[in-house]
Amino acid sequence: MENGIMFQGFEWYLPADGNYYRQMADTAEALRRRGVTAIWLPPVCKGTSDQDVGYGIYDLYDLGEFDQKGTVRTKYGTKAELLQLIRRFHDVGIQVYADVVLNHKAGADFTETVEACLVNPANRMERQSEPHEIEAWTGFNFPGRQGKYSDYEWHWQNFSGTDFDQRSGQKGIYMFTGDNKVWSTDVSQENGNFDYLMYADIDYANPSSRQEILRWSDWFVRETGVDGFRMDAVKHISALFMKDFVTHVHETQGPDFFFVSEYWQNNPEELSGYLDRTEHRLRLFDVVLHYHFFEAGQTGEAYDLRQIFEGTEVHNNPLNAVTFVDNHDSQPGQSLESTVEPWFKPLAYALILLRESGYPCVFMADYYGSANGSIPAQREVLDRLMALRRRFSYGEQTDYFSEAQAIGWVRAGEGEHPAPLVVVLTNKEATTLRMAVGARLAGEVFADYLGNSHAKVTIDEEGWAEFPVQSRSVSCWLPDGLPLALDQPPLPYLYEAKPTAAAKTAEPAADEAALDQT
């Protein structure tokens, strides 16, 4: 069975020129040759404007088809271009995952009078005012769509809170108090209760809200043909609803429909608890591992590499873990900024791409470089690491995690992929690590297919060897002479990345606070 690779096909600073779908479609064949098996697209539904990255969600049924919010297209293009992109990826054998934003709605069409009280942002269970009437932006009738696909309208009863009173002009977190309104209890308990994130917060205790979202999911999958969902901001959404949502989609679309959720929390117990509450019916991005990578890059040689997987989802719940290095929220300038240092990224990608557990995700900005130049491109090393995963990262895994500054592992190979793969990395000076590949390979010569070490290593009669690695680097050793088939056309550029000081000095490989959980 082929090793899977997810590719996050967007980053925060993509140009808002409407060309994304057309340009991304042109990368399908090249990505497939590099071993990509699934692509994660940005939110495709109409947001608050054609500049909206997609998380200021307005109309779930408008995929770039209707003149709403001053635009027909979204930031990324039109519905017709989106469907063509999905067909292109399916034609080459790549699955498509849609980014689904169900926590809130933005850009309402009119205000409504609703009873609400201000709450303390640091403790949303603490009321700071008596219940009183406000004018909330909670009316959605989608005049540009005129009822096509769904005539459902959203009103204040569908929501549990908002962040602005039009009557007084006051900003704040308003919890609705009429009609037995309360925050969901099965959400993150940060800030007392983290049900509320932004805009008009959808109330999933309301049966009508639940039913409409389930109807939408049936329409959306039928309309687009996507193979999976990336669920946004689930720590702010009722876990019971999420379990029911996943159950409904699996019943209607089949058990193989893919789910991965973003629960942004650097707390292993809380992540495992969420999986328990949702009966392990979905996967989670391994946020804990991301923060380990971030800390390792910041700390350098003082970081104990033996602890890199401690408390991570890929360690605690390997079948439910999607591993990643960075994403659109952690990149510079975003409210969850925690960008992994460029020197450590090749090591981090080796740790997610070349091990047996976890479903790895490669970030577009790490591959191309970010459009604003704040993240340097690492195409060459990522091409090689993805090729190694596709062709050689198979079989039993033996870890050599006895040194604080140098760790490694051996994949024994199996079936159609019999060659063993040896990986060694260090966050300190150049060193070697003694590892075994088996006596059957005695006398075999190994070479570093990343090209970071130019030495050749000969396996001794007992199947062991000292495998070198350069300072703050990673090397991947295979029997010398095995082709990696890297002589393929480069991926088309989606944009011209702007060079920055960070990009120029990176070592070679050998908006808002409101959007904090997207």
Instruction: Give the catalytic positions in this structure.
Output: 232, 262
Q: Is 184 helix (H, G, I), strand (E, B) or coil?
A: coil
CA dist., res. 231 & res. 406, Å (int) = 36
Cα(44)–Cα(63) distance, integer angstroms: 6
Q: Which residues of 386-419 are buried (b: 16+ CB within 10 A; e: fewer)?
A: bbbbbbbbbbebeebeeeebbbbbbbbbeeebeb
State both tokens at 213.
């979202």
The angle formed by the CA atoms of residues 2, 7 and 11, to the nearest 5 degrees, is 175
Q: Cβ of 193: how many Cβ atoms within 10 Å?
A: 20
State the DSSP code for 497. Answer: P
Helix ranges, 92-238 (H): 207-224
Beta strand pairing call for 132-139 and 170-176: unpaired
Q: Helix or strand or coil: residue 85?
A: helix
Give the DSSP H or E segment for 436. strand 431-436
